[in-house]
Amino acid sequence: MHTVDIIMKKREGHALSQEEIKYLIENYTLGKIPDYQISALLMAIYFKGMNDEEAKDLANAMAHSGDMIDLSSIEGIKVDKHSTGGVGDKVTLILGPLLASVGAKFAKMSGRGLGHTGGTIDKLESIPGYNVELKVEDFMKQVKDIGIAIVGQTGDVAPADKKLYALRDVTATVDIIPLIASSIMSKKLASGADAIVLDVKVGHGAFMKTLEEAEKLAKLMVEIGRLSGRKMTAILTGMDEPLGHKIGNGLEIYEAIETLHGKGPKDLVDVTVEIGAHLLGDANIEKDFNQAKILLHQALNDGRAYHKFIELVKVQGGDTNVIKQPELLLSKKLEYVYAKESGYIEDINALEMGKAAMRLGAGRETKEDQIYMEVGIDLHHKIGSKVEKGDVLATLYVRDKGIEEAKNLILNALTIGQHQKEVVLIKKTIK
């Protein structure tokens, strides 16, 4: 088998076989195929595309390029979720303890944030002592013992994907749906869960800007998972405004704790419970979707989910005092953004809100950037809210970085007009 022949085959628009894809990924991971040949292949894929079978084969080849986590020794159906990334998206922090508190096994490997979207691992690291790096055997034992573990992705999970993504990043081949789908699913398949819900964000603050793009990506990822033997669901959720009110690592832990006390914002609770109800059905814990939602609301309101979160933090070495006193996670230095006119919030550009938080130090522009865990934004009003001139639109938790730039970004992100609009949060479900 010769790499140049495979490149030529894709250049001419033909589908690659499972054996050809496996050959490419294995040898590229081992350094036997140079970057310039894979770059040519990526550009051929960019223009000629891949069919579902090719995308499935690519995801599996990348998954098998490193460790495949085998969770079969853990009793029951193991569940996981993945979000394509958004502003204020702290669903995993609530969903994991919530599901574990009603008997599900939640085995989650999460990533770090880059750009305007926050990473679950960064958020958890705002809890002093929380250990995001567990050995695979410890990860599995913890899921067995308490029903939940949330850790960072190990360097040995889907190494081919990391190598390929770095090359895509510098060859302008990131934004093609088969490559996005196979990249995401390679990590999900390697992580070992039996049932996966994908939260595909769509809107200003998402990577998928249109419903059509998001639906195409969601359908392909569901198909890849199903062809690989997983139970799959995708929900398309809006990201035209931030999820919840708080943006920033410590602030999002704070809001997650509020939600686990049964006092969370409606949009955050709705998305979390929607995802959770699908996973309870897949795990054979509660097959009736509406009853599953009721069960999850009860676990949020009666303290079960909150106590499971404390258990998770304690087992992974975190300081539970900050869970009981979450204000310790927040900067004491505050700034405010005021409304310059009266009316209704008609639009919030979530991307610009994410950038504002990043300017304060809550996110990374490059992988080397330091994150300040205690800074961020508390957005007091969402789309549809009525405001008066002079009202506080947002409280900024700050250090000495990017304050005026963040204020300007927030003011420009908010559109105040005379029409009261409603947001449709859950746009579509794909099974």
What residues act catalytically? 82, 161, 168, 183, 187
Separation CA 175–CA 177 (nearest Å): 6
Q: How far apart are CA 25 and CA 19, in angstroms?
A: 10
Q: Are 80 and 139 in contact (CB under 8 A)?
A: no
Between helix 304-315 and helix 249-260 the angle, nearest 10°, is: 140
Cβ–Cβ under 8 Å, residues 279 and 92: no
Please give the single-letter amino acid code of residue 405.
E
In angstroms, the CA 245 to CA 222 distance is: 30
Rg (CA), the chain: 22
Between CA 121 and CA 92 the distance in angstroms is 10
CA–CA dist 316, 130 (Å, integer): 6
Going by C-alpha positions, the residue among 94, 123, 128, 97 that lies closest to residue 110 is: 123
Cα distance between residue 168 and residue 56, in whole Å: 18
Give the pairing of strands 334-338 and 392-397: antiparallel
Calpha distance 311→342 (Å, rounded):
45
> Rounded to the nearest 5°, which phi and psi values hold at 60?
-70, -40
Q: How many Å apart are CA 384 and CA 344, to the nearest integer?
A: 6
Instruction: Classify residue 346 by burial, with Cβ atoms within 10 Å: 0-12, 13-18, 19+.
Output: middle
End-to-end CA distance of the chain: 37
Give the separation between CA 107 and CA 104, rounded to whole angstroms: 10
Which of 68, 145, 70 is CA-nearest to residue 105?
145
Strand runs labelled E in 219-277: 231-238, 246-247
Alpha-carbon span 151 to 260, nearest angstrom? 20
